[in-house]
Copies of this chain bind each other. A is one copy, B any other.
């Protein structure tokens, strides 16, 4: 696709079958929000849902709302709303705890499923918290050794008979590179490993079928492309064929087969709820619930098609309009192996991102020189792409990014 004018962008937006979704989100005036891969915007239905949860359910219903308002079941009911987006049949996903905690549970469960093996394989450049958690697993499971691989393309030579678990990100958090879930899962399983996919940067924007790919375990975030709200709880998947084999050390009462019997000993729930641990911040889950309701009407194939269109157009436009300004392309050029984000490189990337934010184009910076832009097809359109690149070009041509206020390096979220 090429796009040569704002009029052309508007024509593409006018023909967009997803265009109607933009009104279901709140976006500040004057902002082009290309950071939904970090924190998704708020669905317009959230304030009403939160008021209901707070004023009626908590304020008036009090303790009875655990049953009457469905609080107790939220890990399951929210899991069922995520299931169709990631190609999972019902009964295989729960929402609970943070992504980091769920990675810990998944890795521990994977190790338990392969007691005669002791190696954990993951990417050296993987999402940092995934790496940190695998260090924590090594601390408590002293038999475990970790093998860090530089490139997922290399996995075959690392998949020997010692490998218990392979942990990979479906979409790389920096480059946006999208791995072939089906092929890698197959190869790892042929070598006898349990495969865990981190779907934080793909769920809600890349169609997938966890069931068809025969995935063993998967963990995903809800506050990026699923728009669940700041820090909203994470989800975890295990297929029915593995239920009953789930053993993980965060064996709290929510994962007990009979939590209200107050038995002295732990008995894991026989299904996916064996991955639950303790009480969840219900108010956070209610915002997520409203956010997921929007997805009930979404066709993920349309999302993927538009995502490829937006990211491809952005790459072409940056190269056409800003070619003289020293940007590199860090994301794959091939749309088939690209998620829904575009990462550029520039030695002055930090200052350029700050200058863009000051002009209302919200992207983010990742060390050492990466400018990251996420394109969420439910609320970003082609005219946004056009305008973002026009502003980037202006900032580069005028040297606006050199203003002293953009040079200060501070904590970046």
Contact = CB atoms under 8 A, between A and B. Distances in A.
A229 interface: yes
20 contacts: A26-B60, A41-B62, A54-B287, A97-B98, A100-B278, A101-B101, A104-B249, A104-B250, A128-B256, A129-B278, A132-B265, A133-B250, A136-B251, A136-B252, A139-B251, A223-B279, A229-B282, A230-B282, A231-B279, A231-B282
Contacts of A248: 136
A398 interface: no
A124 interface: yes
Contacts of A229: 54, 58, 281-283
A71 B249 contact: no
A183 B54 CA distance: 41
A50 B41 contact: no
Interface in A311-368: 362, 364, 366-367
A17 to B, nearest CB: 26
A74 B328 CA distance: 37
A59 interface: yes
Interface stretch (A31-39, A151-159, A188-196, A294-302): A31-39
Given A66-B413, A281-B232, A265 B59 contact: no
B283 A281 contact: yes
A67 B411 contact: yes
A140 interface: yes
Interface in A19-41: 26, 28, 31, 33, 35, 38-39, 41
A253 interface: yes
A98 B252 contact: yes
A260 B101 contact: no
A270 interface: no
A280 interface: yes
Contacts of A133: 250-252
B279 A282 contact: no
B41 A59 contact: yes
Contact of A98 (B72, B247, B277): B277
A141 interface: yes
A399 to B, nearest CB: 25
Contacts of A33: 62
A196 to B, nearest CB: 16
A25 B58 CA distance: 12
A55 interface: yes
B26 A101 contact: no
B63 A54 contact: no
Counting chain B CB atoms within 10 Å of each CB, the highest count among A28, A39, A233, A250 belongs to: A250
A133 B250 CA distance: 6
A42 B59 contact: yes
A355 to B, nearest CB: 15
A220 to B, nearest CB: 13
Interface string A70-102: 011000000000000000000000000111110
Contacts of A285: 281
A28 B129 contact: no
Given A50-B54, A97-B101, A229-B283, 9 more contacts: A26-B55, A26-B59, A41-B58, A47-B54, A97-B98, A98-B280, A100-B250, A131-B266, A234-B278
A264 interface: yes
A106 interface: no
A131 B264 contact: yes
Contacts of A280: 98, 231, 281
A349 to B, nearest CB: 14
A292 B124 CA distance: 42
A65 interface: yes
A140 B67 CA distance: 33
A51 interface: yes
A135 B63 contact: no
